């Protein structure tokens, strides 16, 4: 009997250049990667603030806004290049695309892009990297986890020693392996120190 091909999985991986988002890509390579996957890397940045005033002050504010905007666009381009290199390093040969946009509500933008791209899973990093903050997710991850109607996985970092207050390793290739542990999270649930956290499709929509 011929093997049946698995349906293509479309997976969104949120990236912001931090160790935590990079870890999400490494975690995908370790635990989720399979033939037929299609990856959508998403970079959402908050637009620079718009200055107020009139006359020369307004002109200078507009010039500063434009410079900051150009810098953010360049950062996105650099991130796309780094992603190419990282995928090669990890042996990820799946087809993928890189989407960038500006939005004041990053979490809402990630959910919107996930719906537009018809993905079946959103993968993000966990910013709760040290023992004092382990029970909290970053604001963006928390928003997506509690508002997405699409399944969400929060990729964990390697647990720190009990006497460690902060992680100092921020390199792209840091060894941060961790075993998979998935739990359904509600607004009142706590977060497992050592495991991944996932929301299921019954999470409330935004």
Q: Is the pLDDT of residue 81 over 50?
A: yes
How many Å apart are CA 157 and CA 44, to the nearest integer? 22
Q: Are 123 and 14 in contact (CB under 8 A)?
A: yes
Whole-number percent of the chain with pLDDT over 70: 62
CA distance 20 to 170: 9
| List of E strands, the chain | 10-14, 38-45, 96-102, 121-125, 151-155, 197-199
Which domains, and CATH codes, for the chain?
10-199 (3.40.50.620)
Strand order from edge to edge, sheet including 151-155: 96-102, 38-45, 10-14, 121-125, 151-155, 197-199
pLDDT of 206 strictly over 60: no
- How far apart, in whole angstroms, are the C-alpha atoms of residue 149 and residue 155? 18
Q: How far is CA 119 from CA 47, 54, 72, in A?
A: 25, 45, 26
CB 174 within 8 A of CB 89: no
| Residue whose pair of structure tokens reads 């946009």 in the numeric block | 101
Q: State pTM to two decimals.
A: 0.68
Lowest mean pLDDT among 37-51, 66-80, 105-119, 152-166: 152-166
pLDDT value at 168 more than 60: no
Condensed to tens digits (0 to 9), the pLDDT of residues 35-65 reads 899 999 999 988 777 655 555 555 567 788 7
């Amino acid at each position: 009997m011929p093997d049946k091909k698995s349906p293509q999985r479309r997976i969104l991986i949120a990236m912001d250049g931090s160790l935590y988002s990079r870890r999400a890509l490494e975690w995908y390579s370790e635990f989720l990667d399979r033939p037929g996957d299609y990856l959508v890397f998403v970079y959402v940045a908050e637009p620079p603030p718009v200055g107020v005033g009139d006359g020369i002050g307004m002109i200078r504010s507009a010039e500063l806004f434009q410079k900051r905007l150009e810098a953010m666009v360049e950062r996105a381009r650099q991130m796309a290049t780094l992603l190419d290199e990282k995928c090669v390093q990890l042996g990820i040969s799946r087809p993928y695309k890189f989407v960038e946009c500006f939005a004041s509500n990053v979490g809402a933008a990630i959910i919107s892009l996930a719906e537009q791209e018809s993905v079946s899973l959103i993968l993000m990093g966990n910013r709760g990297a040290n023992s004092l903050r382990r029970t909290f997710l970053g604001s963006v991850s928390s928003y997506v986890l509690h508002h997405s109607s699409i399944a969400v996985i929060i990729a964990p970092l390697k647990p720190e020693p009990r006497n460690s207050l902060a992680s100092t390793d921020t390199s792209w290739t840091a060894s941060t392996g961790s075993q998979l542990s998935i739990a359904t999270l509600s607004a009142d649930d706590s977060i497992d120190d050592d495991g991944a956290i996932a929301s299921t499709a019954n999470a409330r929509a935004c």
